[in-house]
Every structure is written in structure tokens, then in C-alpha cells.
């Protein structure tokens, strides 16, 4: 039996233009695009229709599972709460970022992380979820237990992306120790003496573990076909190392130098949508708006605020000269999908998945009105 839906009177955001007309959806796919008023169907009232958003790096799930120190929520309930917020923000494909390797501030264990992954898998199998879920392993390569925790995901085919990160002080995201102190000393409530010891320990662990763990994880990911991302690259030397290890996505470069070197090397440059909305990095690093203006930004991620993804797509064209709405939308749909090898989604064109979002813009804020995944309404 053929299932068809027609969406009419819409402003359809295609790869390189906006067309006023209608969309034909058939059996979960986009079957036709017509300019003008040639079809009858569900009236979109002149709202935008954009591709479903593709999110590569959200840290949002862990907060639902551990909402307070030492509190653990039911993992399936946590996944459902996260999924609902993601889908209603227009995200139809999400890579849930899970920690591999625990540092000093972690309230979670590797067993907790595996429970969350199992809850995601069970929820997929039981058709509980609105969005399409995959896994992104955030590998803290300086942590002593990184490889052991990574082994918990051996054979897990839901893993599509792994990032190599090192949050030790004195380099990458935290070159400025004052910024590191603001981020960690206050969070952990450490005295100056204890904070000094804490930094020395973290730097020692980084010197001992980061190099071997980067090599081991990058080799395993290349063998398994998992896309690799670097994280917080600050120098051209960091980018050279990433290229040598087979990295394809440069997450959150902290300097203009690293972003340019990544772009020149053909890596997809990913920045945070909250950075776009705030106009600056919360860590004092390079602005995503600056990179966008210089043609160095390819992909946006909601990072810690799911709604920021669609918000930044509609905002970027207003604040950065030379970026159109189709180009901004590509940063949250087509570009991230292609970066991890998902060629069946991310663009509104015949034959692609009917992952779609109906959006109205009120007072410069996008209002998500309807979300479809494979032609089925999910929000």
C-alpha cells in the first residue's frame, strides 16, 4: 500500500535556493517538488520546510541520566526525555555523545555509560524514539581508563563517530590556566594548593596516556569504519597530527590558525551553535561567527543546548554577510550527514528520506511547528 502526503503553500529550503510550492512524500521518501500552487494537500501557511537537522555532538543525554550529583535516573526514561527534546528542536538524526575515559570531574562511570548505550539500543529496537539515534564516543585520551572504556563498545554498530579529546590544562581548550581555574577550581571547590596538585596530576596523565591512546583508538576506528574527529585543535601541529591519524572532522578548533589548517586539509570544521548565538566561545576561544565570515565553518552542533541548532541556522544568515539561509541550513543538515557517510538524508530532493521540519520565524526566533522522520510525523 502506497502512503502519500502532500505539503502545500510552503517555502521549501533546497540545497541552493528557496522555492515556494509543494512537496510530495511517498513511502518515507521525498517523491516530488513543485513550484507554485499545482497540488492540493496539507496547507503549510507559508512556513519554511527545511531538512531534518543532523546533530553530531550533543552532551545532553548524560544530564537526563544524572540530573544531580549521585542521582541516577532510569536509563530508558532518560533516553526518552532526551529524545523528546531533541526531536521537538527539529533534530531527526542525532549522535548521542557518550564519555569514554573518566576524568576528575566525572560523576559517571563507564558502566553508567554502557547502560545508556544499551537503553538507546533497546529503545531503537522497541520503536520508542522519535529521532534516529547513533553514538558518538567522546574519548578522553588522557584518562587512564580510556582504552578499557572504549573496549565496552567493541562490536557496537551504532557507533558512527569517535572524537579524540584531551582536556588537560595548559593546551588546546585550556591554554589559559585562568580559564581552566574558572572552569574546574570553582566546579570542584578546590583550594589553590589542591588546584595546583590537580593540574599537575592532569598534565602528568596527559603526558603519559594521550599519545598511545590516540594511536590505539584511531587504528581501531579505521579498522571498524568509524569516522574520527579531532577536538579543540589549537595549532597547525595539532592538525598535522589529526591528519596523520585519519581524522575527517575538526571539532571546535580553538584558534583561527587551527581552523584554517583544518579547512585547507579538507576536514569538516565543526563549531558550537551556542557559540554562534552568544557571539563567542564560553572558554574564550575563537568565535564561530568569525570562522563563518572567513568561510571556515562547515558544520554546527548544538553541543549542550539542543534548540540552539535550529536557532543558529536561522540566525547565522542575519549576522554574517554572504551566508544565505540554504547555506546555513546545510551546516545543520547536509554537511553533518555527509561527514559521517549518511547519504540518504540532509537535503530536500527526490529520493532522499522525508526527514523534514516545518518552521515559522517569530521575532527572529524559529518556531518548530511539525517534524517528520521518514514521512511520519514525530513532533
State the DSSP H helix or E strand holding residue 321, giving kind and residue range, or none if neither: none
Q: Is the model's pLDDT at 33 over the cut of 80?
A: yes
Give the chain's domain count.
1
Backbone angles phi, psi at 375, to 5 degrees: 80, -5
25 C-beta neighbours (distance < 10 Å), count: 22
Q: Which residues of 225-236 are buried (b: 16+ CB within 10 A; e: fewer)?
A: ebbbbbbbbbbb
Give the structural domain span for 85. Answer: 52-343
Instruction: Indicate whether 178 pLDDT > 70.
Output: no
Cell numbers that stand for 304 in this block: 549542550
State how far Cα 98 lies from the chain centre.
Answer: 12
Handedness of CA 144, 147, 151, 156 (dihedral sign): positive
For the segment 236-259, the average pLDDT, to the nearest whole number, is: 94
Q: pLDDT at position 283, please?
A: 58
- Domain assignment present for 36: no
In this predicted structure, what is the pLDDT of residue 281? 67
Count the Cβ atoms, other than its own, within 10 Å of residue 318: 11
Taking residues 5-16, report their average pLDDT. Answer: 96
> Is 353 inside any structural domain?
no
Q: What is the CATH number of the domain that holds 294?
A: 3.20.20.140
pLDDT at 124 over 90: yes
Q: How far is CA 169 from CA 120, 173, 176, 201, 250, in A?
A: 33, 8, 8, 10, 20
Alpha helices in the chain (DSSP H): 60-65, 75-88, 110-125, 146-150, 177-180, 186-188, 192-224, 236-244, 256-264, 273-278, 288-293, 308-319, 325-330, 334-339
pLDDT at 313: 96
pLDDT tens-place string over residues 264-294:
999 999 999 999 998 766 556 789 999 999 9
d(CA 325, CA 359): 13
C-alpha cell belonging to residue 129 = 524514539
Q: Which residues in 82-112 are b (16+ Cβ under 10 Å) and which e? A: bbbbbbbbbbbbbbbbbbbbbbeebebebeb
Confidence band of 210 (pLDDT split at 50, 70, 90): confident
Residue 12 lies in a domain: no
Asked if the structure places residue 242 within a domain, the reply is: yes
Whether 45 is in a domain gets the answer no
Query: Higher-confidence residue: 270 or 232?
Result: 270
Q: Is the pLDDT of residue 114 over 90?
A: yes
Residue 47 placed within a domain = no
For residue 167, tell me if it sits in a domain: yes
pLDDT digits (tens, 9 = 90+) for 294-313: 999 999 999 999 999 999 99
Q: For the chain, give the percent of residues with pLDDT over 90.
A: 74
Of the two residues 194 and 272, the one the predictor is more confident about is 272
329 versus 178: which is more confidently predicted? 329
Asked, for residue 130, whether it belongs to a domain, the answer is yes
Query: Which residues are paired to 33 by β-bridges?
Result: 23
Checking if the pLDDT of 207 tops 80, the result is no
Whether residue 149 is predicted with pLDDT greater than 60 in this model: the reply is yes
Q: Return the pLDDT at 177.
A: 62
Average pLDDT value for the chain: 91
Q: What is the mean pLDDT of residues 312-332?
A: 94
Higher pLDDT, 285 or 90: 90
Cell, residue 162: 569517535
Over residues 37-60, the mean pLDDT reads 93
pLDDT band for position 329 (cuts 50, 70, 90) = very high
Q: Three-state DSSP class for 57?
A: strand
**124, 87 in Cβ contact below 8 A?**
no
pLDDT band at 172 (very low <50, low <70, confident <90, very high): low
State the pLDDT at residue 64.
96
Amino acid at each position: 500500500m502506497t502512503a502519500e502526503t502532500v505539503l502545500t503553500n510552503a517555502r521549501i529550503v533546497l540545497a541552493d535556493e528557496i522555492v515556494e510550492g509543494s512537496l510530495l512524500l511517498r513511502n518515507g521518501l521525498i517523491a516530488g517538488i513543485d513550484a507554485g500552487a499545482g497540488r492540493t494537500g496539507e496547507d503549510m501557511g507559508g512556513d519554511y520546510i527545511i531538512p531534518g537537522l543532523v546533530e553530531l555532538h550533543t552532551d545532553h543525554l548524560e544530564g537526563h541520566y544524572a540530573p544531580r550529583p549521585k542521582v541516577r535516573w532510569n536509563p530508558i526514561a532518560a533516553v526518552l526525555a532526551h529524545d523528546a527534546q531533541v526531536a521537538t528542536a527539529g533534530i531527526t538524526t542525532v549522535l548521542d555523545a557518550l564519555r569514554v575515559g573518566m576524568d576528575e570531574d566525572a560523576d559517571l562511570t563507564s558502566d553508567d555509560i554502557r547502560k545508556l548505550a544499551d537503553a538507546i539500543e533497546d529503545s531503537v529496537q522497541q520503536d520508542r524514539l522519535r529521532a534516529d539515534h547513533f553514538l558518538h564516543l567522546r574519548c578522553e585520551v588522557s584518562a587512564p581508563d580510556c582504552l578499557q572504556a572504549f573496549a565496552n563498545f567493541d562490536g557496537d554498530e551504532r557507533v558512527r563517530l569517535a572524537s579524540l579529546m584531551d582536556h588537560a590544562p595548559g593546551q588546546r581548550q585550556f591554554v589559559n590556566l585562568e580559564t581552566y581555574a574558572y572552569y574546574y577550581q570553582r566546579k570542584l571547590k578546590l583550594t589553590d594548593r589542591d588546584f595546583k596538585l590537580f593540574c599537575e596530576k592532569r598534565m602528568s596523565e596527559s603526558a603519559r596516556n594521550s599519545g598511545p591512546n590516540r594511536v590505539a583508538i584511531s587504528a581501531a576506528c579505521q579498522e571498524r569504519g568509524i569516522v574520527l574527529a579531532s577536538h579543540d585543535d589549537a595549532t597547525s601541529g595539532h592538525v598535522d597530527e589529526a591528519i596523520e591519524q585519519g581524522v575527517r572532522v575538526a571539532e571546535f578548533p580553538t584558534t583561527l590558525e587551527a581552523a584554517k589548517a583544518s579547512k585547507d586539509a579538507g576536514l569538516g570544521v565543526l563549531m558550537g551553535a551556542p557559540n554562534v548565538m552568544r557571539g563567542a566561545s564560553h572558554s574564550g576561544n575563537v568565535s564561530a561567527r568569525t570562522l563563518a565570515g572567513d568561510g571556515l565553518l562547515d558544520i554546527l552542533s548544538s553541543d549542550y543546548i539542543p534548540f540552539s541548532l535550529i536557532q543558529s541556522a536561522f540566525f547565522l544568515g542575519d549576522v554574517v554577510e554572504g551566508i544565505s539561509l540554504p547555506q546555513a541550513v546545510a551546516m545543520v543538515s547536509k554537511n553533518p550527514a555527509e561527514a559521517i557517510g549518511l547519504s540518504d538524508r540532509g537535503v530536500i530532493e527526490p529520493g532522499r528520506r522525508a526527514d523534514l521540519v516545518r518552521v515559522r520565524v517569530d521575532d527572529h526566533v524559529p518556531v518548530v511547528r511539525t517534524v517528520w522522520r521518514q514521512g511520519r510525523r514525530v513532533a
